[in-house]
Structures are given as C-alpha cells and as structure tokens.
Amino acid sequence: MKPSLLMVAYACDPDGIGEYWLGWGWAEEASKHYNLHLITTPKGRKGVERESERCGFQAHFVDLSSRMTRWAGLLRRGGDYLPMILWQRRVLEVADNLHRRERFALVHQTTFHSFRVPFQASRLGIPSVWGPIAGGESVPKGFGRFLGSARTSERLRQIVNRPWLEIPSVAASLRRADVLLVSNRVTRDFLPSQFRDKTFVVPPNVMRREDIEFDARFEEKDPAEKLSLLYAGWCVHTRSIPMVLEAIARCGLKNYSLTVIGEGPALDYWRAEAMRWGVAKNVSFTGKLPYAVVKEHYRSADVLVFPALRDSGGSALLEGMARGVPVLSLDWGGPGEMVDDQSGIKIPVNDPDETVRLFGEALLRLQKDPKLRVSLAKAARKRAETLFSWPAKLELVEPHYRRLMARSQ
C-alpha cells in the first residue's frame, strides 16, 4: 500500500507557466509513488481537475474566506504576499480535517518558491518538507551600477529581506519543517545557521516537453563567421544586460550580433545603454516572439548570455541548455547551481570591474574556439536531460521522504 502524502501548492496549474506549472509537476510526479492529496487554489481548477483525475489523486481547492475576500482592497495594498499568507491559514484548517481522515505520513509544501509565504501545514504534527524555497538572493555589493532605475528598489529589498525571517509565522515554519529544500546556495547561506543541517539544495527548474523534444544540433562553425549571442527571457533590471554591453565594448569584440528576445520594464534602459556603449548597431531588441520563431533563434545561436544578478532559478537558462546552446552566466544564485564547468562558463561576482573583464574574455574565447562551444553545448544538453527531468527531481527528494516516513512509523 502506498504511503499517504499531502502536498500544498499555492501555485499549481498543468496549463500554466512558471511556478504554476512547476507546482503541478511536483504533484503529478509524486502521485506515481504515493497516495497523494493536493491542496491548491481554484486558479487552475479546470486543468487540475482534469489532470488529477487522469493521474488518480484527489485535489482539494481552498479559497480565501468571504470575510478575507471583503478585504480585497487591503490585500491589493499589501502586495502579492498577503493573500498567500492569509490563504495558508485556511489551508491549515482543511489540512487538519483531511489528516484526521487520511492519516498522512508526510506533508510537503512546494510552491510558492519563497520563504516569505509561511508553511502553516507544518503544524499538523507529522513529518514535513518545505520547498524548494528561495528569496535569500540579492544583488552582490557594488553591482548596482547595472540596475538603472531598479537600484533603489533592490536596496530596499535587501533591507527588508532579513527582518522578514523574524516574522513569527515564517520563523516558526523554518523551525518546524523537518527538511528545508532551497533553490540555491545563496538562499541556503541566507537562512539562519541553526537550520543548515536540515537544508538541501534542489534547483527548481525542470525541462518541459518542448525542451525534451527539441532537436539540438552540434555544428562546429568557422571562427571567422559572425558570433551570434542570444538572450531570451523576461527583461528585468536584475538580468543586467548592461553588463554584457559593457563587456563587449571593453573587450573589443568584433563580428558579432546580440539578440535580446523578450519584454519587460528594463528594455528602455537596456536600449539606452547599448547606445551609450556604442554597440547599438550590433544589438537587436525583438520584444516577445512566438515560440516557433524563438526556436529558430536558439538553433542559430552560438552563445546564450544569462547575466542574472538576482535569480532563484533560471528557466530561460535551462531552455538554452536543453537546446544545445553553450551558456555564459554568472556564478551566483540559481544559475550558479544549474551550470557546471563542463556545461557552461560561469563568471564570479566578487568585483564588478573584474566580472566585466572576465565576461569579455570569455566572449573572445568562445568566438575563437568553436570546438569549445560544441563541447559546452553537448555537456549542457546532457546535464539538462540528466538532472532537470521530473524523475531526477523526485530522486533528489525521495530519500528525505523515506527517512522521515520511517522515523514516524
């Protein structure tokens, strides 16, 4: 008989993207091995009901109470986290009633991927796993010069971040959880040191079907051909494309193009920085493109640049790895976990001038060495297939499940 597992996922939708798709994926994979009950919101109800029936597990939909709903104006002023925190209170009531009937062996809260949303179901008195959580990431000291208008908001975020750990419900959740899964080492090191022994790194991103099915080709180009650089993803200031523009200008890279695919609040600043560094004629900002077009950009790209200064994971980076594009990123946060020395080039973030210099040197090296590009691309695809599938993800978590379940028997 399969052990009974309760999973809590605020973000969960098989038809969704980002955390919503990841929240669903955790449930679908766990249902293959456990008698699963899932608690989520009604936001993705249609898809969850359809797919949970196919997978053979029960989904329970919890919404805010009518009283909390009447506070809609207050919730909006409180930002995104307040509705999630209030929702958790309702979850505990539902989880407690379910546990009295089902006698769960373990409870696991998977989404949202943030320590700021407390894990109230850890109060059930059974073994508990929380994560992968993130939120401890911050822009390294001195790198604010690449953020444009977001520099002040990032400073404020850093000021608020550590006191958030002292909020009673958050502190209690960290204390009660038997296992803490974190997205990266930066968040692990940010959490209070007394939790280090029960904290384990599990990068959250997973290959989607289109990633798996992509026909990656590994062709060695003539180094005299134009070097095609690509960035694809959400265009936010913390992705620091200005760092790449400065690196290109300072290293004297010639015969190249940089294509920036995506939309977001940083685009105007990035365009201005391309002009300031005198590289605008080689840089194309396409905006959001259909997947069929993006796929062709991946196919023709020689290098994916992903200079994220604050990122808990890196879904666009994984897309590049899966599509056989060598990755040039920073050794920080989520990207620092996803890429190793065989599957990409990671640049340290000890000093901004040094980082710009090393980024430029890496670009020149990749331009001159097509064999290196192919080697990195092949290793990136293999790493994506080996470590970033749902079976591989559950394989990282199941030893903790088994240990905790055995202890509770």
Note down the domain range covering 374.
Answer: 209-387
Q: Is 8 helix (H, G, I), strand (E, B) or coil?
A: strand
> Are 300 and 397 members of one domain?
no
Structurally, how many domains does the chain consist of? Answer: 2
* pLDDT value of position 77: 45
Cβ(105)–Cβ(4) below 8 Å = yes
- Looking up residue 83, the CATH number of its domain turns out to be 3.40.50.2000
> Are 296 and 326 members of one domain?
yes
155 within domain boundaries: no
- Strand (E) positions, 254-348? 256-261, 283-287, 303-306, 327-330, 344-347
Instruction: State which residues of the chain have pLDDT below 50.
Output: 70, 72-78
328 within domain boundaries: yes
* pLDDT value of position 228: 97
> Are 178 and 315 members of one domain?
no
> Are 235 and 103 members of one domain?
no
pLDDT tens-digit profile of 182-230?
999 999 999 999 999 999 999 989 999 888 888 888 888 888 899 999 9
Phi, psi (degrees; rounded to nearest 5) at 357: -60, -45
148 within domain boundaries: no
- Strand (E) positions, 166-263? 179-182, 199-201, 227-232, 256-261
147 within domain boundaries: no
> Are 189 and 257 members of one domain?
no
* pLDDT value of position 409: 65
> Are 189 and 220 members of one domain?
no
> Are 231 and 281 members of one domain?
yes
> Are 213 and 200 members of one domain?
no
> Are 73 and 197 members of one domain?
yes
> Are 235 and 294 members of one domain?
yes
Q: Is 121 helix (H, G, I), strand (E, B) or coil?
A: helix
> Are 193 and 233 members of one domain?
no
Q: What is the spatial distance between Cα 320 and Cα 401, in angstroms, rounded to a whole number? A: 32
Burial of 103 (0-12, 13-18, 19+ CB in 10 A): exposed
> Are 197 and 216 members of one domain?
no
Nearest to 343 by CA among 388, 311, 294: 388
Cα Rg of the chain, angstroms: 22
* pLDDT value of position 66: 53
